[in-house]
Structure formats: C-alpha cells, structure tokens
Copies of this chain bind each other. A is one copy, B any other.
Amino acid sequence: MKTDIQIAQEADLKPIEEIAEKLDLQRDDWEPYGRTKAKISDHLIEKLKHKKDGKIILVTSINPTPAGEGKSTVTVGLGQALNKIGKHTVIALREPSLGPVMGLKGGAAGGGYSQVLPMEDINLHFTGDIHAITTANNALAAMIDNHIHRGNALNIDPRKIEWKRVMDMNDRALREIVVGLGGPLQGIPREDGFNITVSSEIMAILCLATSLKDLKARLAKIVIGYTYDDEPVTVKDLEVEGALTLLLKEAFKPNLVQTIENTPAIIHGGPFANIAHGCNSIMATKTAAKLGDYVVTEAGFGADLGAEKFLNIKTRAGSFEPDAVVIVATIRALKMHGGLKKNQLTVEDLDALANGMENLEKHIETIEKFGLPYVIAINKFPTDTDREIEYVEKWCEERQIDVALADVWAKGGDGGILLAEKIVQKIDTDNKNFTYLYDLNMSLEEKIKTIAQQVYGAADIQLSAKAKKQLKAFTSRGWDQLPICMAKTQYSLSDNPNLLGRPKDFTITIRELSPSIGAGFIVVLTGEMLTMPGLPKKPAALNMDVTDDGKAVGLF
C-alpha cells in the first residue's frame, strides 16, 4: 500500500494561479507563495460583502480513539465529492503544528486520496504563519521581562506573569524553567515555561479576529499577568499591540492550496482544541464561504469539544451559522468505545460495535440540541466487515438518521459521492433552527454547567476552591460576559480519559480557570492540560530526510 507521501508526490498539482482563477480571484486578491501555495487578501470578504455566502458544512466526530477517525480525511474527501457532483466547493482546514510532526505524527493533512497538497510544505513551515505567531508571542514575552528589568513602571508582579514563551516544538525540557539567571544584567530571575505555539492565545486570537483592526483590538486586550495589587496587566498597558499586529499581518491572510483532486482548500490557523477552540480561522471559513457555494470545514477532536466550541465561540465571533453537520465515525473506533482494545479491532465484533454506538448517539443528541441538520459518515477502513457496516447503517435507518459510507482514503472524491448527495439534500430540505447552547448573559458557572450537562451528559459540575475564587474575581472584572472554552480530555465525554462509550452519572471537576480576554473566552480546565508535548523514544524526525535534489522523505 502506498504511503500518504508517495500518493502526494505522484499527484498532479495545478499551478496555484489556476486554482485562484477557478475561484475568480483577481491579481490583487492573492499572492503566490511558491508555485502551489498562495495567500488570499484579508480584504476579500469586505470586497465581496454583497455576494451571497456559500453553505457551511461542519465536520465533527465521535470521541477520538487511538484507532483514528479520519475527520480531516473525510473533510477533504467530502469537498472533493461535492465538486464531483457539480457543487462548487471550497474546503477550510487547520494548519498542522510542526512539533507533533517531528514527534509522533509525521504529518497531518488528510490521508490517502483525500489529502491537501503540497503535504510536505503544509507539514513543515508552510507559509510561515505559525512562526509569525511564535515570534509575536515571544516578542511580547521579551517586552514583559524587559519592562520589569527597566524599572517596572507598571508594577508587574514577576510571580504573577501568566504569559508564557512558546515554541513550535515538542520539548518537555522547556515545560518548567527558571529564566533571568546570571546577575543584574540578565533580567529578573523567575519561574517560567514554554508552551507549544499552537496553544498560544495569539493563535486563538488570529483565528477569531475578523479584520486586521479586530486583530489589533484583541491583541491589546490580552492579560499578561497581574500587578502586585492583583490588577490585570494588558498588552495595551505595554503599548505593543501595534508591533504584534505588524508581526502578524501576513500570517493573518488565509492560505490557499488544493487537494489531490485540485479542489481549492483554505488552510489557516490551528489552535489547540482543549485550551483553545480548535477550529481554523474565521477568515478562512468566511473567505471560503465567499468563494464557494459550499464550504466543508472541521473542528478539532469530537463534537463535545470542537463542534461545541465551533458553535458557541467561533460562530458568535464571526457572526455566521453553519448549514449542516457531518458526524464522522469509524467501525474501529466505535468498537473501542464498545470495549475492545486497540489490538482487537481487525476482527468482526458486532456486540462491541453495538455497545459503542452510544458514543455516537450522544454526539447526535448534541448536534440536535444546536438545531442543525446532520448526516453520519462512516469512514471506511479495510478491516471493516460488511455486516459491521450494515449494522451501523441499520441502526441509523431505524432512527431515521441519514448515514453514508465514505471510502475517501482509498477512492478520493469518488468514495464520498453518497455522503455529498445526502448532505446536499439535507441542506436543501431540512429547516435548520440554529441556536447557541447558552446565553452570554448567564453566569460563568451556569454556562459551564450547561455544557457539562447538555454536551457531556454529566450529572453535575464540581468547582475546586481555586476555581470558585477565580469565578468571583473574573465576574468582578466583567469577564463573566464571555463564552466558555472547555479544556477537557478529548478521549471521553467525561473528564476521565478512560471512560469510553457514553459514561453516565459523572461529575465534571472544574480545577481552574484561565482568562483569554484577547481571544474572548474563559478557559475552563477540568484536569491537567499538557500545553507542551514531549518527544517519544523514537521521534518521527529520525526517519525524516531529504534527497540531494530536495525531495522530502519520512513524512506520512
């Protein structure tokens, strides 16, 4: 079987100007980055404001398992399939982080015959967006330490600096560090640490800003820490929002590439889906909606995290609504939710499958609560048996739920025609009745409880002493009007990663809150969140290489 990179390198990529022409982009609307990548002007949405937006299809999934759900692959495959059935479609995806590429993953841009290309570039430096975010983040960090070193006019308490430096790398040795050592010329010694870039609030901001002006306003609002009197200190206080915006002005422009079947794809932004909202940028989604009659986009992890935040945070910030949802499941992952181990998945097991359906069932209920039409996509794996597939199809039919087998890894767009037809029909015939799950005027605690009960199926929430104290402080600062960004394990509907399927009668423990005032949400932590991954014993990097004529090896 061919690897992703082999399939990618054999693909017939069109010059990016052909893709741009197909989208009716004028020369001023875009800039090339190499022969097969481009940036689209951040003014295009404004320029095309009188043009009707395309229909937005959100792809989400059941809770992820080590078996893999292939949400990105289905997103790409569905986009290709829609084009095959004559629907002019643009895909909107997140940018992969380089850290995990060098560590475990080796690459992340769809798979098989449903990939975005050039996959080597997308997986490495791409158009430099994440590097720009790293730079802006660390420029701010340097300005903070310099401010303190140079007299600390703002009275910043070095023990209460919340702003961490970042790196787009898996580097556990940087999780907890002490900086400023070496005497009076080297700054102020203090405890610090690095996060991975994609967890930076600046990444979340870039993805939620709707214009360069909005970007600057959001950057200004970032709370970097507190004074000795516990007053929040912002970027505006440090007067560097202009410089940070300048550093981000190119990164703010959405990137245009193509899929293996030359379907246009906009890949832009990639915030964490636990401590941030896990969706590609509003600029990407809205640009795609201006350029396509249909947009296929995705949100990170399962519907309990990515879709919930897409629908409660991203659509609010961007003032738009999706038109339909695809919920991706695989037979393998459903069987894991039904109790099987990873090494048992290649054998047919209808009982495990039946048990695992309850995980899908919960996510279906969640999407229904948002008032959105949906179709279930079974992402086909070679080990799926006909009886297993029939079981899921029948389960759906009994409940009058639309379902389609998608074989897009192996067949590209051709493998997603049925899914494409069903989703188009769904959009054409169903009356959507989109509603946010909570009102912004509710208290922070009520909002958290709503998500825990309505989306996770929890009985209740429990607040730590620290969280209670923070709720009070945040409310007194007026931060209670913001939406919630839950940081919870992606593996379970609960806050215990080992509880697969559909856990019942559980409590969600709220450990701590963290204000992302620039991004415009309150992060609610339900457990330890790793914001700087480590490398495995044999990092993927050990297999990477480049031939003398510049061809990438070892990305997959």
Contacts and interface: CB of A to CB of B under 8 A. Distances in A.
A544 interface: yes
A77 to B, nearest CB: 28
A155 interface: no
Interface string A178-198: 111110011110001000000
Given A132-B125, A171-B142, A177-B177, A212 B546 contact: yes
A458 interface: no
A142 B173 contact: yes
A47 B485 CA distance: 55
A458 B11 CA distance: 62
Nearest to A555: B246
A14 interface: no
A128 B33 CA distance: 11
B34 A31 contact: yes
A543 B242 CA distance: 8
A176 B183 CA distance: 9
Contact of A43 (B98, B178, B250, B549): B549
Contact of A541 (B171, B216, B240, B539): B240
Looking at A139, A182, A192, the one whose CB has the most chain B CB atoms below 10 A away is A139
Interface string A232-243: 000000011011
Contacts of A216: 546
Contact of A179 (B135, B142, B177, B549): B177
Interface stretch (A162-170, A341-349, A358-366): A162-170
Interface in A120-155: 121, 124-125, 127-128, 131-132, 134-135, 138-139, 141-143, 145-146, 149-151
Interface in A17-62: 31-35, 39, 42-43
Interface string A489-531: 0000000000000000000000000000000000000000000
A131 B135 contact: yes
Interface in A213-245: 213, 216, 239-240, 242-243, 245
B186 A175 contact: yes
The bracket for how many chain A residues form the interface is 35 or more
B169 A173 contact: no
Contact of A32 (B34, B121, B141): B34
A35 B43 contact: no
Given A35-B31, A142-B535, A146-B539, A168 B135 contact: yes
A145 to B, nearest CB: 4
Contacts of A240: 541-542
Given A34-B31, A131-B125, A180 B173 contact: yes
A375 B225 CA distance: 56
Contacts of A167: 138
A149 B17 CA distance: 47
26 contacts: A43-B549, A98-B135, A102-B142, A124-B247, A128-B128, A128-B131, A131-B131, A131-B135, A141-B171, A142-B169, A142-B171, A143-B535, A143-B539, A146-B534, A149-B173, A151-B537, A172-B180, A176-B180, A176-B182, A177-B178, A178-B178, A216-B546, A240-B542, A242-B553, A243-B541, A243-B545
Closest 5 CB pairs of A and B: A242-B545, A176-B182, A131-B131, A173-B187, A243-B541
Interface of A: 31-35, 39, 42-43, 98, 102, 121, 124-125, 127-128, 131-132, 134-135, 138-139, 141-143, 145-146, 149-151, 165, 167-182, 185-188, 192, 211-213, 216, 239-240, 242-243, 245-247, 249-250, 534-535, 537, 539, 541-546, 548-550, 552-554
Given A142-B173, A246-B554, 12 more contacts: A31-B34, A125-B250, A135-B169, A138-B169, A138-B171, A139-B169, A143-B535, A145-B173, A176-B181, A239-B542, A243-B542, A245-B545
